[in-house]
Every structure is written in structure tokens, then in C-alpha cells.
Structure 1
Amino acid sequence: MRKRATVICRRGKRILLVARNESKWALPGGILKRGEDLSNAALRELKEETRLSGKSAKYLFHYRGTQKHHHVFFCDVSKRAKARANNEIAHCRWVHVDEIARLTTSSPTKVIMKILGEKRNGTRGK
């Protein structure tokens, strides 16, 4: 199973999502390069896809999807920095956390956001 660094960027109650063409919305991230550290991969993918430079990448949790093993990080970015679609990404959008469930997103994005909500509410594993 391939390892993927998945990035959560948050501004208040908004989360940064990306999309390729007119496809599903997803959290930024991608597959690790050979020998690459997970946190470095998270920062690299964020920069490649959105042109945002993360100040740091804090490991949150992991999730094994059907095709990839997601290592989820929180990346802090400047409040003034503007996300711009780059590389294979066609769109970037800051989305209110309550709106994400109503969007067409990748399956892992739905699960990761659910886990994040459970962790935030202290209900994970109960």
C-alpha cells in the first residue's frame, strides 16, 4: 500500500480543499518520493498544489484507505497567504467544515474529516 501525506490547512472553521479539473474535492497531499520524510512530503505537496508554504507539519493520525495509507498532518500557513491552484490542481477553495459533507469529495476526504471531527469532539474510539 502506498504512503500518502495528506494535509489539513485550517483558517478558523474553514479547511482548504483542492480539485483536479472538475472532479471531486480532496485534501491536498500526495505520494511520498523515495526516501522522503512524511512531514517533508506534506509540506512539499502543499507547496506544489497550492503554492502555500507551510510553517510546520504536525502529525495528527493515519488512515488506511483501500488504495493508500494516509498520514494526516496539520500545516500552519500565514493568514495572509493566498492559495492558488498549481501543478495538477485546477481549483483551491477554503470551505466551512459544515459544508464539506455536502460537497462531492473523495472517499478518504470524507473519512478523514469525520475522524478529525471525532478527535476534536473527544468521541474517537468510544
Structure 2
Amino acid sequence: MKKRATVICRKGRRILLVARESKWALPGGMLKRGEHLADAALRELKEETRLSGKSAKYLFDFKSKQKHHHVFYCDISNRAKPRPNNEISKCRWVELDEMRRLLTSTPTDDIVRLASQKRKNGRGK
């Protein structure tokens, strides 16, 4: 199973999503050999959105059918504007309620739901 650093960035009730072709997903990607998980999360965020995370806080692991997601919360400046880069065609802040109307990857929906539950229960950002 492939290991992946997956990143959640929030602004109030909005979450940062990126699009590869037609599907929306959370920023993130595969680890490089010898790379620490938190470093991979920050690198992937910068590679895909040109945003520099201040830190990457580990939240939880999530296993989908094909990938093992190591999920991190990245704190970024409120003034920072994401811009698509590399394989990313679009990126934008999306209201949590709006996610239901978007074509997203199945792990994205599950990870966002789990992160929101943990946040409500006081165990996460």
C-alpha cells in the first residue's frame, strides 16, 4: 500500500481543495525516499498550491483501498492565495457544505468528515 501525506488547510468553514483533471481532492502526494511525513505534507502543499505551510500537525491515519493517508493540518496565512501548480489544474477554498455538490475522490470525503468529527470532539484543529 502506497504511503501518502495528505493535507488539510482550513479558513473558518472553508477547506482547501485541489483538482487533478475533473476530480477535487485534498492536497498531498507520495513520500520521497527517506522523507519525513510532515516534510512531505509541507512539500506537497507548496508543490501543488504554491502555499507555504507554517507547520504540519499530524491528525490521523486513514487507509483507503489503494493508499495509506497520513493526514496533517497545515497552518497557513489568512492572506495566502492558492495557485495551481504542477499536475494541479485548479485549487480553491470550498465551503464544507458545498463539498457534497463537487466531484471528489472517495478518500477526500471520508477524510474531511473524520477530521470534522475529531474537531467537534476536541481532538484536532
- RMSD of the TM alignment (CA)? 1.4
After superposition, the C-alpha distances for 1:11-58 in whole angstroms (9 at most, x for unaligned) are 11110000012x110000000001100000000000000000000000
In 2, Cα distance between equivalents of 1:12 and 1:29 = 21
Displacement of 1:89: 0.2
Higher deviation after alignment, 76-85 or 114-123? 114-123
Q: State the one-letter code of the partner of 2:121.
A: G
What pairs up with 1:93-104 in 2 under 5 angstroms?
93-104=92-103
Can you give the 5+ residue segments of structure 1 that lack an aligned partner in the other structure? none
Q: Count how many residue pairs are aligned between Structure 1 and Structure 2.
A: 123
TM-score for both structures, normalised by structure 2: 0.94
Matched, 1:32 2:31: yes
SS of the aligned residue for 1:15 comes to strand
| CA 1:123–1:74: 2 relative to 1, 3 Å | closer
Give the TM-score, by structure 1 length.
0.93
Where structure 2 has 5 or more consecutive residues not aligned to the other structure, the ranges are none
1:13 counterpart residue number: 13
Code of the residue aligned with 1:3 in structure 2: it is K
Residue identity in the other structure for 1:2: K
Residue identity matched to 1:89:
I
- 1:42 is aligned to 41
Structure 1 residues 35 and 14, CA gap change in structure 2 (3 angstroms): same
- Structure 1 runs (4+) greater than 3 angstroms displaced: none
Counterpart CA distance in 2 for 1:123 and 1:85 is 32
How far residue 118 of structure 1 moved from its aligned partner, in angstroms, is 1.6
Equivalent residue number for residue 120 of structure 2: 121
Other-structure match for 1:84: 83
2: distance between equivalents of 1:79 and 1:114? Answer: 23
Partner of 2:56: 57
Task: Tell me the equivalent position of 2:4.
Answer: 4
1:50-105 Cα deviation digits (max 9, x unpaired)? 00000000000010010000000000111111100000000001001111122110
